[in-house]
Structure 1
Amino acid sequence: MQPVDRTPPPGDSADGQADLSAESSAPREPESVYLGRQPIIDRKGALHAYELLFRDSPDNRARIFDDVQATAHVVARTVGEIGLSAVLGDHRGFVNMNRDLLFDDIVHIMPPERFVLEILETVTFDARLFKRCEQLRAAGFQFALDDVVALTEPLHEALPYVDYVKIDFLAADRAHIPELAATLKRHGKTLIAEKIETHQDFDEASKLGFDLFQGYFFARPQVLVTRRSNPSRTALLRLLGVLSGEPGIAELEAELKLNPNVVVQLLRLANSSAFKLARPVSSLREAIAATGTRQISRWTQLLLYADGRHLPWRSDPLVQLVGTRARFMELAARVMQPSNEEFADAAFMTGIFSLVHVVVDLPPVEIIQLLKLSREICDAIVEGSGPLGALLRISQAAERGDAPELDSSTGSNAGFAVLTPVVLAELQFEAATWFGAHRVE
C-alpha cells in the first residue's frame, strides 16, 4: 500500500537512533536518504510489523515513477544504509513487489525471515509466477496480497501461495466485506484491514475477525532519514572487477577499505539475521568470511544499479535481465562443457557485465579497463566473438524469443549442438528462478 498525494506530518522517531529524524520541517539534504514505514498492529494495539515505503524527501509523499527502482531503494536503505535493526527492530517488514521484482535478484538481499513480499494488485498470476512463489516460500519468504476489494477467480487461485490478505477498506464495497473476510478466514489466511481511518472502521474490522490493522487511524507513515552512502561509480566498478577474479580475503579486504561506505553496509549485512551468526561481526575480515564473495558481489551490483540520482534504473528490462542472462549463460556453458568450470565462470561474468556499460553510461572499452576482464570476456562483450560471444548472442536471442537466430547460432558450431530448443527452454526457466534456491556459500 503506497499512500499517494497525501501530506500528513510524519510521526516522531521511535527507534532511538541518533542518525534518524522524522522532522517534516527539516531542510532536504542532498546527501540524505529517506524511507517511509507504517505500523501494522494487532487486535490489542501491539506492533506486529511495518510496511516499508519509498520516500525521496521528508515530505512523506510517494512519488513513484518506476516500481523496480522504488523497491531497490527501499531494500538498499533498509538492509544497508539505515540497517535492519534501526528500521524493523524485531518485527517483519512488508515490501511491495511487482511481477518483475519477484524474479529479480533484489529478493535475495532480503533475509526471508524478516520480510513479507507484498504482491501488488496489478500483478497477473499464472503458472510461472505460482512456481516462483513456491520457490520463494521454500526459501522462507511469506507473501501478502495487496489491495484486495472483492472475491475473484484469480484471487482464489492465488490463495494457496499467500499468508496474508490485505483488504482495502476505502475501495471495497462495505456490504461485501463480511462475505469476503469470512471466505478468506475459511482458507486460513491472516487478514489485514488496510486504510483504516476512523474508529468506526476499526470497530467494524475487529467484529469481522480481522487479525491485523493498518491506516491513518493508528499512525501515519513515519519518515526515517540518514546520510546517503554513495560510493563512486569508479570505485564500485573497480570492486566488481576484483570480485570477478576470485580474490583472496587479503586482496578483497584491501579493495574494500577504499570503499568505506560499502564497508559500513557490508558490516550491517553480515550482522543481519540472514547469516545467523553466533556473535556479531566486528571486523571487515570477519564480514567478508561470513558474507562470501558471491553475496558481496551481488550487493555491490545492487548499489551500482540502485543509485537513482546518478545511475538510474532503466524503464526497459536491462537491469532486471542481467542476473538471469548471466545464469543462463553459465548453465549453457556447463551443458556444453560439463567439466570446464572456468568456462562456466567466464560465461557468467560475460552475462553480468554485458549490460553494465548501458546502465552506467560508459563506453564498453572503458568499463572493461576498469574491471580488468579477461581477453575472452572482452572480445565477447565488445565484438561478440569467440564461444562466449556466441553464448551471449544465444542468450540475447532467447530473451527476444528469436527462434531463427537461435537456430543459426546453435547450428553454426558443433559445440553448440547440445543446446537444443528443449534444453534452451529448460535453461531459461532455471535461470529465471535460480535465485529462489540461493544460499550464501
Structure 2
Amino acid sequence: MIFYIARQPIFDRQKKLVAYELLFRDGFANAFPNVDSNEATERLVENSEFSSGIDALTANNKAFINFTERAICSQLPQVLPKNTIVVELLETVPPTDEVYDAVVSLKEQGYTVALDDFEYDARWARFMPHIDIIKMDFRLMSVAQIKQQMKSHQGFEGQYLAEKVESYDEFNQSYELGFDYFQGYFFAKPEIIQRRSLSVSQKVYLELLEKVTAEQYNPDEIAHIVERDTGVSFKLLRFVNSAFFARRSKITSLKQAVVRLGQEEVRKFVAIIATASLGETKPNELTRLSISRARFCEQLALKDKRYGAEPGAAFLSGLLSKLDAMMDDELSKILGHIHAGPTILQALIEKRGAISFFLATAAAIERIDWQHIERAAGKLKLSSSTVIALYHEASNWAAAVNRDE
C-alpha cells in the first residue's frame, strides 16, 4: 500500500528541505480499484504500514497530507501523530460549520493545518485565525492576483507556501512576494547558465569523475588523485569509516578501502563524494535526488537483464544526471569536460538506450506521472507498486549515504 505514495519536496527561504507533500490520490485506481477517494484515503491513513512508515518516507521531515471533507469531519487526521504531519484541506473542502469545528478541534490538539490551492472568499474569514499555512498555486494566478489574494486574508497570521515552483525564476518571484515555503523541483534545474572559471576544488572533483567514469577504469589513478589532495582523502576516509558501512576496524587508506569494499564499490562511492562536493552550494535535496536516481537505475539494471544495461554505468549515469543543476552549466559541456564514455553520453545526452529509459522512469516517479510509471512498469514486466517501491528503497539508501557522506 505505502508504495503507491509519491512525494514532492518543500523548502524554506534558505532553500533548506523542511517537508514533503505525500501524494497518492492519482494512484487510487491501482491501490483501491473499486472505492472512491474518500474511502481510499481512509483505508490508506488507517493502514498501520503507512502510519509507521511516514518518517521513512519523509526522512524525518514533516509530511503534508491531503484530506477530504469527510476525512476531516470524521477526525481521520487524528489517527496520525500531530508532530509528523500537516493536515492539508483540499480545495474541494467547503467552509461549513462542521468543517470549522473540525479545524478548531485539530488546532486545540496541536495539529498544523494548511489550506490547499486556496482562493479567498468571505466564508473563510472565521477560519483564518486557525490556519497555519496557506498554499497558493503559483501557476494558476498572476503576480497581481497573488498580491490581491494575500491582502484579502484578514486575520491570517500564518505562513504562505508557493506550489508548482519549477524554476529558479519562479522561486525568486515567489520569494520576492513574501512566500515562506516553496514546493516543486526548481532546485533540480540550473539557476543561471553562465561561463565561469572552475575553482581548484571543482577541478579536482571533475578529474575524479573523469577517472571513475572512464571505460577503462584504473584504480591507481584514483589513488593518485586522492593521495595528493588532502580534502578528498579526508572525505573518502571519513565516509568509508562512517556508520553507513558499520566497520569494526578503521580504514586508513584508499588501498585498504579497495581491499575491504571491493574495487567497484570504491569507484561508486568516490563518484558519490565527487558529485556531492560539486553540489555543496545547492540544496542538499539535489544530491539526494542524484544518488536516488543512481541507485534506482542500478537496481533496475540488476533486476532486468533483458536490456543488457551494465549496473555500474547505470549507477554513474543516474548520479551524473543532475550535474547541470549542480554546476549551473550545460550537461553536455560538463560531460565533455570529464570525457564521459559513450554509454553515459547515450543515456544523458542522446536520450537513448536502456539507462535512458530507467532515468525517464525515475523522473516520472519524481513528477508523479502515474500513466508513465504504469507504461514503464509494463515494459519492465513489473507492477507499478514494485517500481515505486524500488524508488523508495533507493531514496532511503540515498538518505543514508548522504547523511554520512
**TM-score range with shorter-chain normalisation?**
0.3 to 0.5
Give TM-score, length-normalised by structure 1: 0.43
The structure carrying a bigger helix percent of its residues is 2
Give TM-score, length-normalised by structure 2: 0.46
